[in-house]
Amino acid sequence: TYAAEDSTIFDMTNNIVFLYGKARVKYEDFEIEADYIRLDQKNNSIFAKGRTNPVNKRYIGKPLVMQGAEPPLSTDSLFFNYKTKKGKSFGVFTDVEGGFLQAQQFKKNQYDEGFFRRGIYSTCNLPHPHFGIHISRGIATDKQIITGPAYLVIEDVPLPLGVPFGFFPKPNKRSGGLLFPTFGEDTRGFFMRDLGYYLGLNDYWDLSTRGTLYSKGSYELGTAARYRKNYKYDGGLNFRFASTKNGVEGTPSYKKPNKDFNLTWSHSQSPLANPGTTFSASVNAGTGSYFQNTGAAGTYNPTEIARNTLSSSISYGKVFANGLFNFSSSLSHSQDIEQQTIFLDLPRFSLNMTTLNPFDSKDRAGEQKWYQRLSVGYSMQGSN
């Protein structure tokens, strides 16, 4: 997605979007903010920069890059190709291991490796720090940072204290481990809730499994998976099962355990992944009594417990023929818990053509003639 507070200009011929004034381009957990952004969808590139305030001559609206839990990165200007994953920026400023790293130039290749030149690391956060370690050049990867010659600088005076190179390993953040439970009591007895295990499968997937036990015999199981690939897609899948016992076995109040499940799936595709194509999913399905019997999966949220509908939607869209045609399709599901009815709309689709004036001319001078106002369009819709 993209937006701007001042203005947005579209160059339909070259498929370029110009964003002015607090411009923003966002995809999943990746976001760029700047005073000016040029989004070239034909060449799959982004250029961002700030501007000089005419009053005080200060450079404002610098590009700010944010991604996930990583520290924000500020830069004077930035060029990035979201297909090749290559980029270059100037005047970089970011947080690194309790300090601040500035570099005059920074390049990024398709292997997610960064190369910087003329950098300085300091605990001083000023644009021109009073002291720091000057780094001639360096390489940063997801596992390590390697630098060339580095030396200490105080008040712009280099001191004869340096090293020929530096090597700094970075710990792997993907790991697995035990998920500790919580303890308490409700109508199903004493419980040990959400004991489980987390597993970081790779750079794109993680998985967690959890279980809950109650002293009166009820239990719950759940598996959740999350996935994300920068500039491509992100989403999550969650499946939960519950067996709920009512009453004490052998007494008149006893009933057979209720077996319930709930399945949710969310998926979104980046507009940068395949310009002109969209795909999204939001699925929530299961047995109607799941939220009532499980106390809304242990959250005891009154809104969720009183929920009387479940709904899902999956949609796909594509713009083709240079924007002349727009196709969209969707699948939907609606479930009434009280009436115990399910409605499926499989599928619904539409095809629309942009309205044209076939007898008009781009080189026309003066007002349109009557025949130049004639327009042609097309629209089709269907559902099952």
Least-confidence region, from 100-104, 121-125, 153-157, 193-197: 121-125
Q: Looking at residue 309, what is its pLDDT?
A: 86
**Does residue 174 register a pLDDT over 70?**
no
Least-confidence region, from 19-23, 27-31, 102-106: 27-31
**Does residue 170 register a pLDDT over 70?**
no
Q: Model confidence over 56-89: pLDDT tens digits?
A: 788 888 998 887 666 778 889 999 887 787 888 8
| Omega within 30 of 0 (cis) for the link into 72 | no
**Does residue 99 register a pLDDT over 90?**
no
**Does residue 246 register a pLDDT over 80?**
no
- Judge contact between 16 and 42, C-beta under 8 A: yes
**Does residue 96 register a pLDDT over 70?**
no
- Judge contact between 239 and 222, C-beta under 8 A: yes
Q: Looking at residue 253, what is its pLDDT?
A: 64
In whole angstroms, give the CA distance from residue 120 to residue 137: 10
Q: Looking at residue 18, what is its pLDDT?
A: 94
Least-confidence region, from 122-126, 259-263, 306-310, 331-335: 122-126
Q: Looking at residue 199, what is its pLDDT?
A: 87
Q: Looking at residue 262, what is its pLDDT?
A: 92
Element (H, E) at 166: strand 166-169
**Does residue 260 register a pLDDT over 80?**
yes
Q: Looking at residue 220, what is its pLDDT?
A: 93
Residue 114 corresponds to which tokens in the numbers above? 């960064």
Cβ-based neighbours of 351, under 8 Å, separated by 6 or more: 325, 326, 327, 378, 379, 380, 381
Q: Work out the pLDDT band at 147, boundaries 50, 70, 90.
A: confident
User: In the predicted model, what is the mean pLDDT of residues 113-126?
Assistant: 81
The model's pTM: 0.54
Q: Residue 267: name the closest of 235, 239, 237, 238 by CA.
A: 235
User: In the predicted model, what is the mean pLDDT of residues 124-148?
Assistant: 79
Q: Looking at residue 203, what is its pLDDT?
A: 78
More confident residue, 84 or 248: 84
Out of 32-36, 51-55, 251-255, the most confident range is 32-36
Element (H, E) at 383: strand 376-383
Q: Looking at residue 351, what is its pLDDT?
A: 93
Q: Work out the pLDDT band at 28, boundaries 50, 70, 90.
A: low
User: In the predicted model, what is the mean pLDDT of residues 134-142?
Assistant: 81
More confident residue, 363 or 313: 313
**Beta pairing partners, 334:** 311, 343
Q: Residue 312: name the closest of 265, 262, 381 by CA.
A: 265
Q: Looking at residue 54, what is its pLDDT?
A: 80
Residue 325 corresponds to which tokens in the numbers above? 């045609």
